[in-house]
Chain A
Amino acid sequence: MADEDETKEYRWESGYEKTWEAIKEDDDGLLESNVADLVARAKRKRAALKATGAIQLGMMRHLFVVVDASACMFLQDLKPTRFLCVLKLLEVFVHEFFDLNPISQLGILTTKMKRSEQITVLAGNQKKHIEALQQLKDLSCEGEPSLQNSLERAMNGLKNMPAHSSREILVLFGSLTTCDPGDIQKTIKALKDNNIRVSIIGLAAEVRICREIAKKTGGTYNVLIDDHHLKELILSQVQPPAVAGSIEASLVKMGFPGGTPSVNDGTSDSSADHAPAYCLCHIDSETSSLMGPNGYNCPQCGSRYCELPVECKQCGLTLVSAPHLARSYHHLFPIKPFIERAQVPNTTHCFACAKLFVEAETNVYECENCHQIVCLDCDLFIRETLHTCPGCASDPVTAQMKTN
């Protein structure tokens, strides 16, 4: 959360926080430390799961994010309110999502007053989504949410997506109740038949129907502990999931617009490419302006876009750049899981971040290839962000081997 939000909040406006309990010594062997332990283990599990490799990943994702906008999202247990906190984190999520899954598409729904509203349609333009999210901030949260309505709507949007893509729904659910028009079990079945994976993040407590939906459709269900945990949970959805069952492989037509021509050098092949033109991303918004020669032209129809990746509005071609594809490539070859070890006697610090190992940290992790030792946080960082082992990369021998 941003700092300025924190300062706006007065202590007496927040809930009871028994700060003394956080530092309480855990003498009865139960409570907080134990739960923290569980969370750490879950983290580790996630890392291990991701590391298994050799599974087909759904790289081309179609994801609907459903945001609860019911009355309970106004609660202030996340700062400043649940709703604003979620939106803010979603912005980060959208950014990360397109960063890691450049050839995927995303749509946003909200649910309130027992209805579901579409905020953005499935599209690959992250700017648009982020804009929409920013506008959502002024939305008033009221009424009750409807899981069924929003799932149905998302399903209608996803149903017709090509079979080779992975269809997903992510629900951020703050309410503890859902007001549905019909039998939700039927919806669950339909979701399952359509191969749609529903993951739910609960903001308050475990709701049984959510767990059931997630379990039946092969998604995950998690409940947050605090905003840091929420961020972690949301960002864990960035990684493409393993494909459930066998999805037919198919070829996808893509366009690679030429690299950005610099403004200064006029040595371009065709002048039409650089003639000032309206950018198609912004053509319908009021702020659209004639843009300069910067931009990407669709190789099929020649429409101009200011940003990649995008789906061409004219001809429907997916436009990407080669680095985008390369970035999703690492999903196919994840690095091998590190070996969990108890404290290794002669290493005192983490290889990656140089942090000293303290007593409290029970386990360290060793790379199979280069035998360097890293801490749990670095292990996760390597897995989730770097996608390459710093030990192997810095060792010329192994690095050489890898490129070969």
Chain B
Amino acid sequence: MLELKRALDAKGHCLLEMPSGTGKTTTLLSLIVAYMKAHPLDLTKLVYCSRTVPEIEKVMEELRKLMNYYEKEMGMEQNILGLALSSRKNLCIHPSVSKEREGKVVDGRCYSLTASFVRARHAADDAVPICEFYEGFDAHGKEFPLPPGVYNLDDLKEYGQTKRWCPYFLARHTITHANIVVYSYHYLLDPKIAEVVSKEISKSSVVVFDEAHNIDNVCIDSMSVKITKRLLDKCSNSITILETTISNMKENDSKRLEKEYKRLVEGLRDATIARETDMALVNPVLPSEILEEAVPGTIRTAEHFVAFLKRVVEYIKTRLRVQHVVQESPAGFLRDIHTKVCIDRKPLRFTAERLASLIRTLEISDLTDFSPLVTVSHFATLVSTYTKGFTIIIEPFEDRAPTVSNPILYFSCLDSSIAIKPVFNRFQTVVITSGTLSPLDMYPKILDFHPVIMTSFTMTLARPCILPMIVSKGNDQVAMSSRYETREDTAVIRNYGNLLVEVAAAVPDGIVCFFTSYLYLETIVSSWYDQGIIDQLQRHKLLFIETQDAAETSLALINYIKACDNGRGAVLLSVARGKVSEGIDFDHHLGRAVLMFGIPYVYTQSRILRARLEYLRDQFQIRENDFLTFDAMRHAAQCLGRCMRGKTDYGIMVLADKRFSRADKRSKLPKWIQEHLKDTNCNLSTEECVQICKRWLRQMAQPFSREDQLGISLLTLEQLQSEEMQKKIQQRAQGV
């Protein structure tokens, strides 16, 4: 809290690492709210960005508790409005639209019911369906602000139901004057969405990125485009549709096209007015000067533009017809496209905006079919806008199946600071926090900002409730490692298997294992099967495996939880960087132990990664190896952190790779794990590890009540104020 206050005072950015379950959310919320109350002029708004919908809900729950506490203590209603925002899919209350399961379809259908031209048409002809909730909101909702309080997604829906207002648009409207906004990072980071949703958030806001250990990847993903052959084929289809619609319209209603033409001459700025509902199609980040310029003549008329698009698509198609891997810079790409099909840079920059405008004019309400074309137009705009920090890679086939031709064009962002830069520049304080941010000094480098505070907090615990261990060898003393050279070694695989079997015999309930990749997981499991290890394992616990298929994985997860609840016990084999490692908590009995088989290095042969490494080296002086280790260790820490979700929880963390005990790896673990990783536990064999587990589990199983924590990890007010404690706190919070 102290550190956070300092950052707020300094109006600077900060980076905090706090273990999960230590009240990170509550701390952030309560301090910032208090600060807002004390200095209403300096700090007007809190924007809390989280990752998933359940996380958003959790934050809202904390906020509600805080508000109730305020009410109880102060004895009056609080004049604070807290709000959660999510996609239409989660907020829609339209009877039929809300039944759709895919986000894109909901967006598309919503658009077809609420777009300005649809409503205009409805005014003329009652048969055109519109959304009554949106109409209700449009008619009344804007004048009446939401009463103060805390609204999570369900509350918004309920409120919308009673008032017959659309909760989604209500929420989006309310963002501008709400004090606390909670939503997903994408609303702020993805320039395509941020432009529309978050534009009006004032400068004097605090932005919090929770669970932000992957923030650089989110930034990069939001700016990268991947084009496959299938996508291009679909593009061609949509272009044909566009053509026919245009020719139809020409016959019936040529006036509209003319009007659009005129508007484009005047510039795009006006076009952005009155299109709040049309946001499903928005431009990627466009420097604002582009919006002020007029659209170049060559693509102003609809037919010309479609022809232009056709050329672009055809050009990309020819580029995909390569036999070997091509890597080039955006500048090179532009030069090539200029010489081959005579397309200038300037019209390319306008592609996205022009397409949006065209679709609007043509009154095409079903947007879902056009998404491939939109992707291509984004690509065109991005490639012509940014020349630095991006690369284009064309691969004729996938690495895994070199015989199958499956050309893909990656337009990949190499610099994560591009997407986040506007955020840092605009807001006075940006807080980046997560349970696993170590090593902290890497983030300012790759995100290119200067934090005023960088701190890693540890947990104060009444008992040693995590047990990290590095297991480096099997009982036969063969070193365990997922190194490339020893990967196929049966001795190593067998040792990994034995380790799992023995741990499974000693640890109750749930065990989660992480492998470095799906490929590795598959080879290991198949050789375990041959070696009979799977049979041994199933004597103790049931076995579940994460696959690349999301539905299958969630089914496996459900059954895993069931097996743990029933006392049968289960082992879940999953992959670092997979769905399980990122979003799912294995608290209490669901994850009594986490095993990390090997160091989860990212696939180093990938060309995108290589390009990025090169870029990082040239631009930020980060050595390749440093970045790779950093990336691997934060994922390892992320996986390990899955089993620890609070002070009453306990879990074993086994790092099964010889290389973990090296100083460069070990020192990159979060401080709260390092603190418990004793030197004696750094080079264990399987048997030693199991012995330690057994003893530790018995200790942890002893009754543990609230009083035991009092004075150590739970403080009363008097204890907190005592001088000794103050000193301790100061000591603990030493910066990195």
Q: Which residues of A contact B (CB under 8 A)?
A: 15-16, 30-32, 34-35, 38-39, 41-42, 71-72, 77, 144, 147, 176-180, 183-184, 202, 204-210, 222-225
* Interchain CB contact (< 8 A) of A207 among B506, B508, B540, B698: B508
Known: A144-B539, A177-B541, A208-B509. A184 touches B701 (CB 8 A): no
Q: Enumerate chain B residues within 8 angstroms of A202, measured Cβ to Cβ.
A: 701
A292 to B81: give the CA distance in the assembly, Å: 91
A222 to B566: give the CA distance in the assembly, Å: 18
Residue count of chain B within 8 Å CB distance of chain A: 34
* Interchain CB contact (< 8 A) of A206 among B505, B508, B566: B508
A71 to B540: give the CA distance in the assembly, Å: 10
Q: Are B463 and A72 interface neighbours, CB within 8 A?
A: no
With both chains docked as a complex, state the minimum distance between the C-beta of B150 and any C-beta of chain A, in angstroms. 33
Q: Are B566 and A180 interface neighbours, CB within 8 A?
A: yes
Q: Are B541 and A204 interface neighbours, CB within 8 A?
A: no
Q: Are A34 and B567 interface neighbours, CB within 8 A?
A: no
With both chains docked as a complex, state the minimum distance between the C-beta of B702 and any C-beta of chain A, in angstroms. 5
When C-beta atoms are compared, the residue in chain B nearest to A39 turns out to be B702
Q: Is B298 on the interface with A (CB-CB < 8 A)?
A: no
With both chains docked as a complex, state the minimum distance between the C-beta of B512 and any C-beta of chain A, in angstroms. 15
10 further contact pairs, Cβ within 8 A, besides A16-B688, A183-B566? A16-B687, A42-B703, A176-B569, A177-B508, A177-B540, A180-B566, A205-B700, A206-B697, A207-B569, A208-B588
When C-beta atoms are compared, the residue in chain A nearest to B697 turns out to be A205
Q: Is B565 on the interface with A (CB-CB < 8 A)?
A: yes
For this complex, 19 residue pairs linking A to B, each with C-beta atoms less than 8 Å apart, are A32-B699, A35-B463, A38-B702, A38-B703, A41-B708, A144-B539, A176-B505, A176-B507, A176-B569, A179-B568, A184-B566, A204-B506, A205-B698, A207-B509, A207-B589, A222-B703, A223-B697, A224-B698, A225-B702
When C-beta atoms are compared, the residue in chain B nearest to A210 turns out to be B567
A31 to B688: give the CA distance in the assembly, Å: 18
Q: Enumerate chain B residues within 8 angstroms of A30, measured Cβ to Cβ.
A: 461, 463-464
Residues in B634-692 with C-beta less than 8 Å from chain A = 687-688, 691
Q: Are A204 and B588 interface neighbours, CB within 8 A?
A: no
Q: Are B703 and A204 interface neighbours, CB within 8 A?
A: no
Q: Are B704 and A176 interface neighbours, CB within 8 A?
A: no
Q: Enumerate chain A residues within 8 angstroms of B505, measured Cβ to Cβ.
A: 72, 176
Q: Is B462 on the interface with A (CB-CB < 8 A)?
A: yes
A15 to B693: give the CA distance in the assembly, Å: 12
Q: Are B701 and A205 interface neighbours, CB within 8 A?
A: yes
Q: Is B564 on the interface with A (CB-CB < 8 A)?
A: yes
When C-beta atoms are compared, the residue in chain B nearest to A173 turns out to be B567
With both chains docked as a complex, state the minimum distance between the C-beta of B646 and any C-beta of chain A, in angstroms. 15
With both chains docked as a complex, state the minimum distance between the C-beta of B541 and any C-beta of chain A, in angstroms. 6
* Interchain CB contact (< 8 A) of A176 among B463, B540, B702, B703: B540
With both chains docked as a complex, state the minimum distance between the C-beta of A50 and any C-beta of chain B, in angstroms. 16
A207 to B697: give the CA distance in the assembly, Å: 10
Q: Is B450 on the interface with A (CB-CB < 8 A)?
A: no
Q: Are A176 and B508 interface neighbours, CB within 8 A?
A: yes
Q: Are B691 and A16 interface neighbours, CB within 8 A?
A: yes
Q: Are B702 and A178 interface neighbours, CB within 8 A?
A: no
Q: Are B567 and A207 interface neighbours, CB within 8 A?
A: yes
Q: Enumerate chain A residues within 8 angstroms of B568, measured Cβ to Cβ.
A: 177-180
Q: Are B567 and A204 interface neighbours, CB within 8 A?
A: no
A354 to B698: give the CA distance in the assembly, Å: 34
With both chains docked as a complex, state the minimum distance between the C-beta of B174 and any C-beta of chain A, in angstroms. 42
* Interchain CB contact (< 8 A) of A177 among B567, B688, B691, B700: B567
When C-beta atoms are compared, the residue in chain A nearest to B463 turns out to be A34
A177 to B505: give the CA distance in the assembly, Å: 9
A136 to B663: give the CA distance in the assembly, Å: 53
Q: Are A205 and B507 interface neighbours, CB within 8 A?
A: yes
Residues in B458-494 with C-beta less than 8 Å from chain A = 461-464
A15 to B708: give the CA distance in the assembly, Å: 31
Known: A30-B463, A35-B463, A177-B568. A206 touches B708 (CB 8 A): no
A39 to B704: give the CA distance in the assembly, Å: 10
A15 to B461: give the CA distance in the assembly, Å: 29
When C-beta atoms are compared, the residue in chain B nearest to A182 turns out to be B566
Residues in B116-159 with C-beta less than 8 Å from chain A = none
A210 to B567: give the CA distance in the assembly, Å: 8
Q: Enumerate chain B residues within 8 angstroms of A41, measured Cβ to Cβ.
A: 708
Q: Are B702 and A223 interface neighbours, CB within 8 A?
A: yes
With both chains docked as a complex, state the minimum distance between the C-beta of B374 and any C-beta of chain A, in angstroms. 49
Q: Are B700 and A206 interface neighbours, CB within 8 A?
A: yes
Q: Enumerate chain B residues within 8 angstroms of A225, measured Cβ to Cβ.
A: 698-699, 702
With both chains docked as a complex, state the minimum distance between the C-beta of A1 and any C-beta of chain B, in angstroms. 18
Q: Enumerate chain B residues within 8 angstroms of A177, measured Cβ to Cβ.
A: 508, 540-541, 567-569
When C-beta atoms are compared, the residue in chain A nearest to B703 turns out to be A42
Q: Is B694 on the interface with A (CB-CB < 8 A)?
A: yes
Q: Enumerate chain A residues within 8 angstroms of B565, measured Cβ to Cβ.
A: 208-209
When C-beta atoms are compared, the residue in chain B nearest to A208 turns out to be B589
Q: Enumerate chain A residues within 8 angstroms of B698, measured Cβ to Cβ.
A: 204-205, 223-225
Residues in B576-591 with C-beta less than 8 Å from chain A = 588-589
Q: Enumerate chain A residues within 8 angstroms of B463, measured Cβ to Cβ.
A: 30, 34-35, 38
When C-beta atoms are compared, the residue in chain A nearest to B462 turns out to be A34
Q: Enumerate chain B residues within 8 angstroms of A184, measured Cβ to Cβ.
A: 566-567
When C-beta atoms are compared, the residue in chain B nearest to A15 turns out to be B691
A41 to B702: give the CA distance in the assembly, Å: 11
* Interchain CB contact (< 8 A) of B702 among A42, A147, A208: A42
Q: Are B703 and A208 interface neighbours, CB within 8 A?
A: no
Most buried by A among B461, B564, B699, B700: B699
When C-beta atoms are compared, the residue in chain B nearest to A179 turns out to be B568
With both chains docked as a complex, state the minimum distance between the C-beta of B613 and any C-beta of chain A, in angstroms. 40
Q: Enumerate chain A residues within 8 angstroms of B506, measured Cβ to Cβ.
A: 176, 204-205
Q: Enumerate chain A residues within 8 angstroms of B589, measured Cβ to Cβ.
A: 207-208
List the 4 closest A-B pairs by CB distance, nearest first.
Answer: A209-B567, A223-B701, A208-B589, A205-B697
Q: Enumerate chain A residues within 8 angstroms of B509, measured Cβ to Cβ.
A: 176, 207-208
A208 to B700: give the CA distance in the assembly, Å: 13
Q: Enumerate chain A residues within 8 angstroms of B461, measured Cβ to Cβ.
A: 30
Q: Are B708 and A38 interface neighbours, CB within 8 A?
A: yes
A210 to B568: give the CA distance in the assembly, Å: 11
A147 to B569: give the CA distance in the assembly, Å: 13
Q: Enumerate chain A residues within 8 angstroms of B694, measured Cβ to Cβ.
A: 15, 77, 204-205
When C-beta atoms are compared, the residue in chain A nearest to B461 turns out to be A30
Most buried by A among B564, B568, B694, B700: B568
A116 to B568: give the CA distance in the assembly, Å: 17
With both chains docked as a complex, state the minimum distance between the C-beta of B54 and any C-beta of chain A, in angstroms. 22
A39 to B687: give the CA distance in the assembly, Å: 27
A131 to B438: give the CA distance in the assembly, Å: 62
Q: Enumerate chain B residues within 8 angstroms of A147, measured Cβ to Cβ.
A: 567
Q: Enumerate chain B residues within 8 angstroms of A144, measured Cβ to Cβ.
A: 539
With both chains docked as a complex, state the minimum distance between the C-beta of A341 and any C-beta of chain B, in angstroms. 18
Q: Are A205 and B704 interface neighbours, CB within 8 A?
A: no
With both chains docked as a complex, state the minimum distance between the C-beta of A280 and any C-beta of chain B, in angstroms. 42
Q: Enumerate chain A residues within 8 angstroms of B688, measured Cβ to Cβ.
A: 16
A247 to B165: give the CA distance in the assembly, Å: 57
Q: Enumerate chain B residues within 8 angstroms of A176, measured Cβ to Cβ.
A: 505-509, 540, 569
When C-beta atoms are compared, the residue in chain A nearest to B465 turns out to be A30
Q: Enumerate chain A residues within 8 angstroms of B687, measured Cβ to Cβ.
A: 16
A202 to B565: give the CA distance in the assembly, Å: 17
With both chains docked as a complex, state the minimum distance between the C-beta of A53 and any C-beta of chain B, in angstroms. 23
Q: Enumerate chain B residues within 8 angstroms of A180, measured Cβ to Cβ.
A: 566-568
Most buried by B among A35, A77, A177, A179: A177
With both chains docked as a complex, state the minimum distance between the C-beta of B232 and any C-beta of chain A, in angstroms. 52
A177 to B565: give the CA distance in the assembly, Å: 11
Q: Are A35 and B702 interface neighbours, CB within 8 A?
A: yes
When C-beta atoms are compared, the residue in chain A nearest to B592 turns out to be A205
Q: Are B567 and A178 interface neighbours, CB within 8 A?
A: yes
A184 to B506: give the CA distance in the assembly, Å: 23
When C-beta atoms are compared, the residue in chain B nearest to A38 turns out to be B702
Q: Enumerate chain B residues within 8 angstroms of A38, measured Cβ to Cβ.
A: 463, 702-704, 708
Q: Enumerate chain B residues within 8 angstroms of A222, measured Cβ to Cβ.
A: 701, 703
Residues in B540-564 with C-beta less than 8 Å from chain A = 540-541, 564
| Chain A proximity mask over B63-75: 1 for CB below 8 Å, otherwise 0 | 0000000000000
Q: Enumerate chain B residues within 8 angstroms of A210, measured Cβ to Cβ.
A: 567
